[in-house]
Each structure stands twice: as structure tokens, then as C-alpha cells.
Chain A
Amino acid sequence: MSNWDWQVFCKDTIDGEIVARCFGGPGDLTYLDWLLSAWGWTLSVSLLALLVALAFGSIMGILRTAPNRGLVLLGNAWTELFRNIPLLVQIFLWYHVVPALIPPLRGVPSFILVVLGLGLFTSARISEQVKAGIQSLPRGQRMAGLALGFTLPQTYRHVILPMAFRIVIPPLTSESMNIVKNSAVAFAVSISELTLFALQAQEETARGIEIYLAVTGLYFLSAFALNRVLHFVEQRVRVPGMIGGGH
């Protein structure tokens, strides 16, 4: 620890000179500027992928509990496809293989591709959780909704999903935190996020320990912040008398 040098973040990324106040001007970046921009990319990839994952995951999870074989099959096929292929392989499929098969996709920025790749991978896991949440409810709930004259979509909207989503908030929290950590795969398709920053900056500065500690700290902070936000949501929406809401 005696030979740590945190000044490394104040260095200019081109000439390696230490910049006063640690932030560069226009056209001159310090490693601190770069670190913050890399953090921005990590957060952008993670949060957008989380939106994609929640949207597709919820739809597919619901389909898997629908009273229709075709829809259940679609949901199951989706889930098994995206969760049985390693994440990094999926990212490469999106980046190298899909554009080769569908030429118009060549112009799509790798950022969009990695958001889709990461989002769809995670949607498989979320669909599994949403399905489990719905199935954990007594079957009588659905029947009661239908008996009251609700259509099936109305039963889902007003009876089943409000309870199911409250039940699955804790696993969804874990999944949201996982997405932040999994976003590190984006470095493989040239997104200038935290992992790419770490690999490159430690090579340029030879101060690997300081760089990796800073990057570790930011990953932790991002995942933990999401955890707190979702914990807050969990507290706000809980209903006394329901699972997890009674005390």
C-alpha cells in the first residue's frame, strides 16, 4: 500500500502529465474523465438492458402461465433459448453472426446490439421468476377473477399480476444487480465501459491496483444503488396482510 499512487487518475491520457484539478479540458482527457465516462457507459448499458429484460421477461413469464398451449410453448422456447447459451457467446452472435445473416443490421451500433443481447439473456431469467411468482398464487385467485366476470387479460391485470409482481421483487432485485455486473461483457464488442477502461488504463499507466480498485468500487456502488432503489420500491408497494407485507 505504501507504493500506491492515486495521482494516476489525474494524468492526461495522451502525454501522461498530471493535470491540475484532475479534470482535462476540451480534447484533453484525464484518466478520471475517462473513468467517469466509462461508468456512464456501464450504467447506460445496464439500465437499458434492464428495461428490455423486464419488458420481454414479464411478457414471456405471463405467456408461460396462459391457458393456451401455443403461448406456453412460445414462452418456454424463448426462455430455454436465451438461458441455455452462454452470455458471451450470445453477445458475439449478435455482433458478428446476426449482421452477417441480415445485412441491414450491419449499420446498427454495437451499443444497441449489446443492450439487446444482455437484455434478452436476462429476460429469460426474469420470465422464469415472473412465472414462479404467478404460480405461487392459489389457483382460486384466477378462478375468482374469472367468476366475477373479468376477462382473462383483466384477471391478470387487476388480480394476478399485482400480487405476483410484489412477490418477485426480491429475485428481480438480484437480477437487476446481476445485469450491472454482466454488462462487463460489453467490452468484448468495443463499448468503452468500465472493464474496457480497466484493461486499457492499467496497461497504459502500469498502476493496475489503483485502477482495478476504483473500477471495483464503481461496480459495487452501481449494483448497491440499484439494490437500495428496488428495496425502496418493495417497501412502498407492500400491502399489509399480503406475503411479505404483514409485518
Chain B
Amino acid sequence: MKRIAVLQRLTFIAGLLAALPALAQDSGTLKKIKDGGAATMGVRESSGGLSFTVGDGKFAGFHVELCQRVLADVQKQLGMAKLDIKYQPVTSQNRIPLVQNGTVDIECGSTTNNAARQKDVAFAVTTYVEEVRIAVKAASGITSIAQLNGKNVATTTGTTSVQLLRKHERATGVDFKEVFGKDHADSFLLLESGRADAFVMDGQILAGNIAKSKNPADFKIVGEVLAVEPIAIMIRKDDPAFKKTVDDSLKALIKSGEMAKIYDKWFMQPIPPANTRIGLPASEATKAAWANPNDKPAEDYAKK
């Protein structure tokens, strides 16, 4: 008898857990924003020029500004007099669950759009295409990945670059010694202190770290592009009305040329908090994504 009661309770709890995501999805994001008078934007503490904190609970960056524009359009579309934007810092570990369970309505960080994630969430049209590159000390004479045989290569724990290096290692037989930094600043310190000979990471993160370093001329970004990844604004899955609003708003920004201007503001001009310039012009891949707005996952880029 007792066992049956426990079983029943367990199935009840399991049922509750299964019902939770369904509840979150039943009410569309647009309705949720209208009813609550507020939208929650997921932001990153430190994702290069895309999304970062300027201290004091304030956030800025290319994707943050795009989302502010998008939410302004949402407000117009819903005919709301006032729309509160709440900023919720997220990490690469919790961003997907927080979007799924409704804590975050629109995530504006540096999330790669890939097929595995499309099972759990949806992405707006790609607004930035990241190229994974290699940063080395300018004096090292390293110019390509083939020269990294037997060298220490730094990358950051919890990023797709770790897997990328592993794949590359097997495909080409180049044997790196990987060193993992706990965050990008830590990985860059490994390169700076000489513990690593190279730092493999997203181009804009490398450029941003070099720009902030004591002596930017000591470092350079070299070699072939190791991977191309579409970075996009992330929203809940199966919410076509909200996705259309977000996509339309982004497409309008592209069409009017505003997109390129906002890009220039965050990647070419001095940005807070230290007034440094990242100095990374929009890549051909990014321009191609703007010319032909789409939400294709990273896997489609790899095939090319």
C-alpha cells in the first residue's frame, strides 16, 4: 500500500514538472508583455561588444541596443503607453533554461544559433556572425594553426571553442596541449603570462581583450578562420507571433541602414566603461547575414 502511495506521488510530481514548460508556452510572449507591462531582457556580464555590463546594474552592447529597439517596436505594436525593461544577467549555463521557463523574454547576449539549441528555443534572424580565430603574441612568429603543433593553446571552459579544437586536432593530426581558462579574462592572462602560446576564441572577444590589455601592440590575431557561427537574439520556441515581431523589427533596422550604424557604434567607436575601441569591422559573413536575413543554425554554415 505504502509503495503505491509513493508511486502516485512521484507520478504526480513528474506530471507537474512536465506541465511547467507547457504552461509557459501557452501564453504568448506578446500577451505576457502586454499583461505585465514589462519585458525581461537577458543580458551578459561580459560578452565583448555584444552584451556587457557598464557597472551599477546597467548593460550595453550591440545586441542590447538591438533588443531595446525591438522592444520599442513591440511597445508600439501593442499600443502600450509604457513598457518597463528589466535586465536579467544570464550565463552560458542558465540562459536556455531561463528563456524556456519564462524568466527571460528575449536574450540579447552572444548565443550561437545551433541545431541542438533549436530543439529547446528559437532564434531571431542572425544579426552577427562570429569567426573563431587565434590570438598570439606579436613577437611569437606564429601565423597559422599548423604552427601550434606541441604548443599550449588556451581557450575558455564552457565554450564551443573547446570542442572545435578537439575536432580540429583529430581532423588534422595537429597535437595541441589545451589549457582551459575559467573565463575569457583568465584565458587571456594565460596568453599574456606565457603559459599559453595562443588563445583560440571568438574574434570579437579576442579583439576586445587585446584592446583592453596593457599593450595592445604586443598581440595580434592571425591565421585562418577556424569556425563560423551565427550569433542571434534568443526567444522562446513555438511563439510565431513574437518571433515575427522581433524579426520584422530587425529586418527594418537592416533595411534602413541603422543596423550597420549600431554595429559601428559598438565595434568601431570607443565604448564604455574604459572608452576603448574593439576595432573589428563587420565581416563579410556578417554582411551576408544582413543582406539575406535568416535563422539558419551553425551546422548550415559549416557545410559551405
Could you tell me which A residues sit within 8 Å of B by CB distance?
1-3, 13-14, 27, 96, 100, 106, 187-188, 190, 192, 196, 199-200, 202-206, 208
In Å, the complex CA distance between A222 and B98 comes to 31
Q: Per-residue CB proximity of B38-71 to A under 8 Å, as 1/0?
A: 0000000000000000000000000000000000
Interface residues of B in 9-65 (CB under 8 A from A): 14, 17-18
In Å, the complex CA distance between A208 and B180 comes to 20
Residues A96 and B193 in contact, CB atoms below 8 Å apart: yes
Q: Per-residue CB proximity of B173-194 to A under 8 Å, as 1/0?
A: 0000011111000100100011
Can you list 22 A-B contacts with CB-CB less than 8 angstroms, sorted by A residue number?
A1-B17, A1-B18, A2-B14, A2-B18, A14-B166, A14-B167, A14-B170, A27-B170, A106-B194, A188-B182, A190-B179, A192-B180, A196-B180, A199-B157, A200-B158, A200-B162, A203-B92, A203-B158, A203-B159, A203-B160, A204-B163, A206-B117
Residues B157 and A187 in contact, CB atoms below 8 Å apart: yes
Which one of A1, A14, A190, A205 has the highest number of Cβ atoms from chain B below 10 Å of its Cβ? A190
Residues B170 and A190 in contact, CB atoms below 8 Å apart: no
Q: Which residues on A sit within 8 Å (CB–CB) of B182?
A: 187-188
- Starting from the known contacts A100-B193, A106-B195, A204-B163, 13 additional A-B residue pairs (CB-CB under 8 Å) come to A1-B14, A1-B17, A2-B17, A13-B163, A14-B167, A106-B194, A187-B180, A190-B178, A190-B181, A200-B162, A200-B180, A202-B93, A203-B160
Q: Which residues on B sit within 8 Å (CB–CB) of A192?
A: 180
Separation in Å of the B239 CB from the closest CB of chain A? 19
Residues A200 and B167 in contact, CB atoms below 8 Å apart: no
Separation in Å of the A196 CB from the closest CB of chain B? 6
Separation in Å of the A210 CB from the closest CB of chain B? 13
Residues B157 and A200 in contact, CB atoms below 8 Å apart: yes
Looking at the complex, which one of A13, A203, A204, A208 makes contact with B97 (CB distance below 8 Å)? A208
Could you tell me which B residues sit within 8 Å of A by CB distance?
14, 17-18, 92-93, 96-97, 116-117, 119-120, 157-160, 162-163, 166-167, 170, 178-182, 186, 189, 193-195
Given A190-B179, A190-B181, A204 contacting B160 (CB threshold 8 A): yes
Separation in Å of the A101 CB from the closest CB of chain B? 12
Which one of B17, B96, B159, B163 has the highest number of Cβ atoms from chain A below 10 Å of its Cβ? B163
Q: Which residues on A sit within 8 Å (CB–CB) of B120?
A: 206
| CB nearest to A202 among chain B residues | B93
Given A2-B14, A13-B163, A199-B93, A205 contacting B157 (CB threshold 8 A): no
| CB nearest to A203 among chain B residues | B158
Q: Which residues on A sit within 8 Å (CB–CB) of B181?
A: 190
In Å, the complex CA distance between A204 and B193 comes to 28
Residues B17 and A205 in contact, CB atoms below 8 Å apart: no
Which one of B17, B179, B186 has the highest number of Cβ atoms from chain A below 10 Å of its Cβ? B186
Separation in Å of the B9 CB from the closest CB of chain A? 13
Q: Which residues on B sit within 8 Å (CB–CB) of A190?
A: 178-181
Q: Which residues on B sit within 8 Å (CB–CB) of A96?
A: 189, 193
Q: Which residues on A sit within 8 Å (CB–CB) of B157?
A: 187, 196, 199-200
In Å, the complex CA distance between A190 and B127 comes to 33
In Å, the complex CA distance between A192 and B119 comes to 29
Q: Which residues on A sit within 8 Å (CB–CB) of B194?
A: 106
Q: Which residues on B sit within 8 Å (CB–CB) of A187?
A: 157, 180, 182
Q: Which residues on A sit within 8 Å (CB–CB) of B119?
A: 206
Q: Which residues on B sit within 8 Å (CB–CB) of A1?
A: 14, 17-18
Residues B166 and A13 in contact, CB atoms below 8 Å apart: yes
Residues A208 and B18 in contact, CB atoms below 8 Å apart: no
In Å, the complex CA distance between A51 and B69 comes to 59
| CB nearest to B10 among chain A residues | A1
Q: Which residues on A sit within 8 Å (CB–CB) of B193?
A: 96, 100
Looking at the complex, which one of A3, A100, A196, A206 makes contact with B96 (CB distance below 8 Å)? A206
| CB nearest to B97 among chain A residues | A208
